[in-house]
Structure 1
Amino acid sequence: MDRRQFITRAGAVSGSAVASSLTLAAPALAQSAPTLRWRMTSSFPNTLDTLFGSSKLFSQTISDLTDGRFTIDVFPAGELVPGLQAFDAVQDGTVEAAHTVLYYYVGKDPTFAIGSSIPFGLNARQQNAWLYNGGGNEAIDAFLSDYGVTAFPAGNTGTQMGGWFRKEINSVADLQGLKMRIAGIAGQVLAPLGVIGQQLAGGDVYPALERGTLDATEFVGPYDDEKLGFYQVAPYYYYPAFWEAGPTVHFVFNKAQMETLPPSYQAAVRTASALCNTRMLADYDVKNSRAIRSLVGKGVKLRPLPQDVLSAAYDSSRKIYADLSASNAKWKAIYDPWNQFRGEIYEWFRVAEYTNDTFAYSQQASGK
């Protein structure tokens, strides 16, 4: 065999081997990165572009990270299931995922609230510190596993407003018999003060307030509240929402479905969730600072909650937490370490953050 024949034959064998390896590799690659299409139901209407928009950002990021192989279609509240049934839809397998707030489900167990926000709890930075570095995510995930779901932080609104009231509130006495839309465990805290708490999805609040079925409502903050038009039927806008100093929104997934995902897709879910968690707070900080000026310009009466209301609510919350710790083992298992974390991080924030902020804000307010 001459040299030319040898090279030709060797090239043919080599080419055959490469083709064979590509044939073997292609199915393996396709198997490790399958084409999947999931559905996510939201607890929020699509008119709330920052809240609902977080789920759209999540969906787009997942698609980008997986080269379009893993897509998640997002549906606003009411399109597939009512907004307050988003968690149940994931639990029973109706959809693979939900975009919701865990404190909506305190009717199942009050412990749900700790993963989002409880009265006189953590602000947004402290909440993220607890979730990511204080054992919070692990504790919440262990609790949720009993429901067959897993969840990732999906955003934070920052400290919310205390809400819209049809009449002025000057003291605790003015809360007697007041019908208020209020989410999570906060309604239980305000009940001893005379408030009749009601839980309604966002789209149902304005009509109830307009008809007088509600006397007051809390929702989020200036940006979303202005879009929903609450100022047109309830002129008094109170602050702060002591029950939501830094509420976390979550992406909730059916645990069995999540475990079937390839590791790279699971990593994409974690990465996209973390992006949304950061982005939402940044969006709200900018949009709320503009919207509050707009609302005041429209004649909204901006008021701080009276001190006796805050004090009475604080005492009420501590009693409720003590009672729950004595009667609910799941609550106690998460609340006790959370409360210890709260005490420690409050001490630190009082040293630097509070001192700096208080002085700087006072100087700006005085016109300097």
Structure 2
Amino acid sequence: MISRDQMLAAPKVLLHDHLDGGLRPGTIAELAADIGHTLPRTDPDELGAWFVESADSGSLERYLETFDHTVAVMQNSAAITRVASECVQDLAADGVVYAEIRYAPEQHLNGGLSLDQVVEAVREGFEQGEVLAKAAGHQIVVRQLLTAMRHQARSMEIAELAIAYRDAGVAGFDIAGAEAGFPPTRHLDAFEYLQRENAHFTIHAGEAFGLPSIWQAIQWCGADRLGHGVRIVDDIAAADSALLDLASVDLAKVELGRLAAYVRDRRIPLEMCPSSNLQTGAADSIAHHPIGLLTALKFRVTVNTDNRLMSGTTLSREFSLLAEAFGYDLADIRWFTINAMKSAFLPFEQRLALINTIIKPWYADALA
């Protein structure tokens, strides 16, 4: 059993977390009051509960409504910087030592900001957050992932923005939004440009749509990582067992399709977000989440939060849920964490330094 204190103190790495999905309810209430934006609740505790209940409702419309409120209060530099700084501080307090935080700059222009000003505001907030976290006794490194929206036509512009700022806090590029009807191949020019520039990018794929989305993200677009990728399990067959009832699965009889085998062979990282996947219907319970089988089969699995506000979660909580469901211990948490650090869009020597000077020493002491 992993104690709560151990889980909190354990160094963790986060690759899939949305800036506009992780605001503090109190901050939303204050920023909304400043700009006259109407919220469904004004009390921070009640507002926080409303976000989680809405995300749990099973209604896509109500789920998307939650982001209407968070994005609405992030339309000026001061607000964006505050949100970014608090994000870093909250992650650091949860034991996260490295994080890549994604957001769509194009969604923060209603107040008159330019794309560059949005990126600069986030950069300032992340830098402030790192300093404040260090003063509180927590070491953390945070980088930006710039997201383009599938249903819009600004992916090339956002890709060029990511390249312009890749030496100024931006680690890579992402594409998000509804998978069905908006395949990543609509944005091939952006992905080809990023590849020519030797840049890193991840693609939301295999959460809501399935194997074609994963196949296109990898084979057409050249994604370094898969955002979620949970539906890769559809290309895995197990004889004489319920596939996701891990206790009854005979791993020796599990058969991987060609796409699943390719993903595992190439060590393509899967940015899995257990609680979020339950809310969006990609899994029906933590105990039956494909992460259990994929981990047992040694895919490059990483554990993430997606939207901390909407899921009412932290990375420590995600690991605790998995430990309870699958019996994971600190050695397993170490494996997930090193997977994530190896998969980060950070220069090799910096990844290695975090692994060898922070992650491995802590787990070695804890497991001794």
TM-score range, shorter chain: under 0.3
Structure showing greater radius of gyration is: 1
Give the TM-score normalised by the residue count of structure 1. 0.28
Which one has more relative contact order, counting CA pairs under 8 Å at least 6 apart?
1
Give the TM-score normalised by the residue count of structure 2. 0.28
